[in-house]
Amino acid sequence: MNAPSYSIPGVMPAATVPAAAPDEPAHTPVDSGARSVAQVLAQSQVEDVLAELERDLVGLAPVKARIRDIAALLVIDKLRINLGLTSQAPSLHMSFTGNPGTGKTTVAMRMAQILHRLAYVRKGHMVAVTRDDLVGQYIGHTAPKTKEVLKKAMGGVLFIDEAYYLYRPENERDYGQEAIEILLQVMENQRDDLVVILAGYKDRMDTFFQSNPGMSSRIAHHLDFPDYSVGELMQISGKMLETQNYRFGPGAAEAFDRYLQLRTVQPHFANARSVRNALDRARLRQASRLFAERDRELTRDDLTTIEAQDILASRLFKTE
Ligand SMILES: Nc1ncnc2c1ncn2[C@@H]1O[C@H](COP(=O)(O)OP(=O)(O)OP(=O)(O)O)[C@@H](O)[C@H]1O
Ligand SMILES: [Mg+2]
């Protein structure tokens, strides 16, 4: 932590933690008094976030297991800090790979909460960006843009969606490289107050890491998000309907299951996001159906029920 040229002006940890000397980490490790795992868990309430993650998110068993491992690492690290055995923050930068709609953004927000509860980041917010938020169009525009984003993300998680677009080898003087270099420096030197999560398709991310060994070596945790099965997508639809006060009427769940069988093999299928979109369209059809019945008094049941016909009207069934 003694290379001041690497730090982002105005976002030096010292600027927000007045007690710390200019080159000390944002959260100088302090003994919280906890000596057991149970005590750390009680202090941090991180278990609540883990339980919510388990409850709210369908499937994702390998992802959930990795998150529990990371949480365990952080809890033990806390105990090591308390006994003076650890002084450096562990590297927590991650990559989340998987197809669209597999829950990457959702899980990243939960991760930010976990990191916050265990005091690895000060604020626990997440800033989600893509290439356009970091890279400028003209010479001299990229560094200020990237630094501005980093400044906003300090104390939380910076989520870079489709991170591989930062690197465009076909364009010799691409400004993306400048953004990557700034990111690399901050990921190394301010990792005690910022966690970077790179997200995107697995194959493109692998290629990106191969061409950017500096980035690859700074990513400590690779989480791969599998596609959902139709059964899991059905469970996800159940959760989505429940939170919006809707339910499937007679035969509607069966119709939606058939819809998903057809949809999953179509182009541009986007897992849980496609489920959300399909349910939005079903709600539209339900509304049009009810709207047509001008004089009927609509009951709670009418207003909350998605009927089979609201699903079966999808154009996907027309090609059957
Ligand atoms: N396992 C799950 N259980 C319940 N809901 C889920 C699950 N995974 C995703 N969702 C829901 O599906 C939607 C899309 O998820 P999210 O945006 O996290 O996916 P993503 O992988 O970031 O997608 P994209 O690549 O398109 O950005 C969100 O509304 C989210 O709440
Ligand atoms: Mg996303």
Asked whether 235 lines ligand 1 (CB < 6 A), one says no
Rg value, the chain, Cα: 23
> What pLDDT score does 45 carry?
86
Ligand 1 touching residue 306 (CB < 6 A): no
Is 249's C-beta closer than 6 angstroms to any atom of ligand 1? no
Atom of ligand 1 nearest to the CA of 106: 18
Cα 78 to middle of ligand 1, angstroms? 31
Q: What is the mean pLDDT of residues 206-232?
A: 96
Name the most confidently modeled range: 78-82, 146-150, 167-171: 146-150
Ligand 2 centre to CA of 30 (Å) is 35
| pLDDT of the residue at 136 | 94
Q: Which candidate, 77, 148, 62, 166, places its Cα nearest to that of 115? A: 77
Distance 99 CA to ligand 2 centre (A): 10
Q: In this structure, which ligand is nearest to the CA of 109?
A: 1
Banded model confidence at residue 119, pLDDT cuts 50, 70, 90? confident
Neighbours of 138 (CB within 10 A): 7
Nearest CA residue ID for atom 23, ligand 1: 101
The pLDDT of residue 9: 42
Confidence check: pLDDT of 6 > 50? no
DSSP state of 317: G
pLDDT bracket for residue 30 (50, 70, 90): confident
Residue 222 is predicted with a pLDDT of: 96
68 touches ligand 1 (CB under 6 Å): no
Q: What pLDDT, in 10s, does the model give residues 240-256? A: 999 999 999 999 999 99
Task: Summarize pLDDT for 281-306 with one digit per residue, the tens.
Answer: 999 999 999 999 999 999 999 999 99
> In this structure, which long-range contacts are made by residues 226-230, counting pairs with CB atoms below 8 Å and at least 24 apart in sequence?
226/59, 226/60, 226/62, 226/98, 226/102, 227/98, 227/99, 227/102, 227/271, 228/58, 228/59, 228/102, 228/271, 228/272, 229/59, 230/257, 230/260, 230/261, 230/264
Share of the chain above pLDDT 70, in %: 90
Structure tokens at 201: 């398709």
Q: Which residue has a Cα nearest atom 12 of ligand 1?
A: 272
Q: Residues 257, 234: contact at Cβ < 8 Å? A: yes
Q: CB of 233 closer than 6 A to ligand 1? A: no
Pick the atom of ligand 1 nearest to 239's CA. Answer: 4
Q: Which atom of ligand 1 is nearest to the CA of 107?
A: 18
- d(CA 106, ligand 1 centre) in Å: 6
Tell me which residue has its CA closest to atom 9 in ligand 1: 103
For the ranges 34-48, 111-125, 251-265, the one whose mean pLDDT is highest: 251-265
User: For atom 13 of ligand 1, which residue has the closest CA?
Assistant: 273
Q: Is 308 in the pocket of ligand 1 (CB under 6 A)?
A: no
**Is 0.85 topped by the overall pTM?**
yes
Say how many CA atoms lie within 13 Å of 283 toward its Cβ: 14
Query: What is the model's pLDDT at position 17?
Result: 34
> Which class for 100: exposed (0-12), middle (13-18), buried (19 or more C-beta within 10 A)?
middle
